[in-house]
Amino acid sequence: MEKENLIKEVEKKAQAWLDGKYDEDTKNEIRQMLANPDKSQLIDAFYKDLEFGTGGLRGKMGAGSNRMNIYTVGSATQGLANYLKQAFPTLKQIKVVIGHDCRNNSRLFAETVANIFSANGIKVYLFDDLRPTPEMSFAIRELGCQSGVNVTASHNPKIYNGYKAYWSDGAQIIAPHDKNIIAEVGKITSVDQIKFQGNPDLIEYIGEEIDAKYIERIKENVLDPALIQRQKDLKIVYTPIHGTGRHMIPRTLDAIGFKNVFHVAAQDVVTGNFPTVSSPNPEEPAAMQLAIKKGEEVGADIVMASDPDADRIGVVCQNDEGKYIILNGNQTALFLTWYLLKKWKENGKVNGKQFIIKTIVTTEVIREMAERNGVGFYDVYTGFKWIAAKIRDEEGKTKYIGGGEESFGYLPYDAVRDKDAPASIALMAEIAAWAKDNKIKLYDLLKEIYKEYGFSKEKMIYIVREGKQGQDEILALMKSYRENPPATMGGSKVVIVKDYKSLEAKDLRTGKITKIDMPEPSNVLQYFTEDGSKVSVRPSGTEPKIKFYFEVKVPMASTADWNKANAEADKKIDQAAKDMKAV
């Protein structure tokens, strides 16, 4: 009976679209879903409205209220336009920047967004073609805009697209603006409320002039130009995985002095179909195989990739056996943080008024680095908007050095307020040049970093649950973990439980409960063990997944113990995953 009622409900919503002012292609797609005896596609397309959340929109493309299309994008943009007028009532001209990635329909959605903003009297700077997400963030600050929108689904499969909203500081929107915008978007209940007819006089195309300024800012943050000059022929393999880094990242590497960059021809083809990969995600080993093959062919010193919107990076180096392996996001963050701290200290820029940031699910070794080097440290929620918010809070008081998250995102300077693949790849290339200049392999340098700051190993496992049923299952899992926390994890006793939904941390040894200092609650659980290991559990905010982040600590007295430490850590992670029923 419940399913029958749901089918009646979605059929009613679908019929409203057929009766409304929607284009004929959209209506034909809906008719096909209605005619299909299997109603699962219809249910998934209409069982809810695609929510404008704190990160914007993300979903599968297609017809329906729960899909990415010009109407759901239009509702979001009209609501954002209405809020901008409320937030800046005395401003003579509100301005926004619009960018997009390589995905199917991204240009269409970007132009739709531009038209709606301009129809509402808002000045639009629209990039003339696809650009990296961080460049869009940079442009907001550079052009003195009040907001911005980037059309991208980041590293998701090709059937997805998304819509990220930004504020005047170039960062993704947080409180109080996020909730206020959501409220305004919720008031758009009819397609008739959306002003689709643009005003061309208010749309200005931007491109090369912003490209040049963005690259110059990255170049200004090179830490050792003489080093790069000495190692200008460092063999670098780079792939954009069909995305927006295709032109900007090789151009950036050239601008800072690297003259020996090898391309992966098949993945230089810019397309939202991502023909060489099943998922355009540098976290996935399969997405990196063509780049690794190229690295083997040319004997690369380092192999790097960016995801389709060029905010995340993948890094590959050779291990002890000469095999090219992918660093995990924590290891890349360790490299970048280590080098930044080293060079800032060498350059006399550390005086106790600097800080670094990581997210709560990222390796605790970064905390150790900050403390030992006498710089401030902050732990923030997952999502780069929280790193950006902390940079804004500290602006004028202390200086940001760098920050990142385990999901392959890093920001090594403060000219941008989102994770930045062009700048991070430039810095990672400089680190590879430093290693070569000092006659040490990158892999051996990684061992030295762990020896100095303590060894840990991390693994992220996720469970996918699609659709409404999947969403319910994920919520039930989180409820179960709260009510029945594990007693042990990977063979070590759980001693502290942090629940970011209640913002309380409980010490299981004493029963003491303390408040967690965070800007708002979040549906995240963390378990800390006696041996310093950590497990974090959270539903993804952008994908139909529940994610488990495992970090285990084991002793490593010298680099000679590397293999032993890794083997022991693997066993602990496997056991911890069983303890959490994540496998």
* Residues noted as catalytic: 154
What letter represents residue 317's amino acid? C
Tell me the CA distances in angstroms from 408 to 17, 30, 484, one per residue in order: 40, 38, 32
Beta strands across the sheet bearing 399-405: 376-380, 354-359, 399-405, 409-411
d(CA 438, CA 444): 12
Q: How many Cα atoms are found within 13 Å in the side-chain-facing hemisphere of 179?
A: 3
Q: What are the start-end ranges of the E strands in 291-343?
A: 302-306, 313-318, 324-326
Quick check: helix, strand or coil at residue 261?
A: strand
Tell me the CA distances in angstroms from 255 to 145, 216, 244, 411, 544, one per residue in order: 27, 8, 18, 19, 40
d(CA 259, CA 246): 16
Taking a C-beta distance cutoff of 8 angstroms, is the pair 214, 135 a contact?
Answer: yes
Taking a C-beta distance cutoff of 8 angstroms, is the pair 147, 232 a contact?
Answer: no
C-alpha Rg value of the chain to the nearest Å: 24
d(CA 255, CA 212): 10
Q: Bridge-partner residues for 303, per DSSP?
A: 237, 316
